[in-house]
Amino acid sequence: MIPPVLPQGPRPIPRLAAVAPAAGAVLALTWDDGRADRVDLTGWLESGHPYFRQLRDPTVFASARLIDATTVEWNGDEDLAIDSMHLALLAEQQRPFGQPELIAWQDRHDLSNQEAADLVGVHVNTWSNWRTGATAVPAMLGIVCRAFSRDPLLFAARYRPRRPGRPPAAAE
């Protein structure tokens, strides 16, 4: 197991190069490094301040404009805005997390199948089925794995290494 490392300093502020509203409550984003993401803001609109609910109107949502490299604003209203940090965090959580991502996550943390299964509270056969692709990786598992990667303390609180060898004989 690779010990968790605390992040060094604050996360850099992501910078946008372009933004375009898309169907639904989706923003097509181009970052200054050329990466692209499509971020669905439905949950943000519904769970945030009631003021943001006006963005459910497709005409209002279509008014999204990049104000500077770190802010998207609607209708020229500085109170009706979202910053690039929140957009980057939403994009990160909305990216696919399937079998390849699960394998990469497990390898990055140097976990055995049993340790990974224990960490997320499932039987090792369930973990193996996700890892081999026999069963689709549930969305919640992606959320959990990303949270463990992001927060070393959360990982350390739940991680229980497996020791090699046979378990000790039961006391007689």
How do the pLDDT tens digits run along the chain, 172 residues long?
555 555 566 778 999 999 999 998 999 999 999 999 999 999 999 887 888 889 999 999 999 999 999 999 999 999 899 999 999 999 999 999 999 999 999 999 999 999 999 999 999 999 999 999 999 999 999 999 999 998 999 999 999 998 776 666 655 5
Q: What number of helices (H) and strands (E) belong to the chain?
A: 8, 6
Residue pair 39/94 in contact by the 8 Å Cβ criterion: yes
Count of beta carbons in the 10 Å neighbourhood of residue 117: 19
Number of domain units in the chain: 2
- Domain assignment of residue 171, yes or no: no
Q: Would residue 168 count as lying in a domain? A: no
pLDDT of 164: 72
Domain shared by 124 and 88, yes or no? no
Half-sphere exposure of 99 (CA within 13 A, CB side): 10
117 and 147 part of one domain: yes
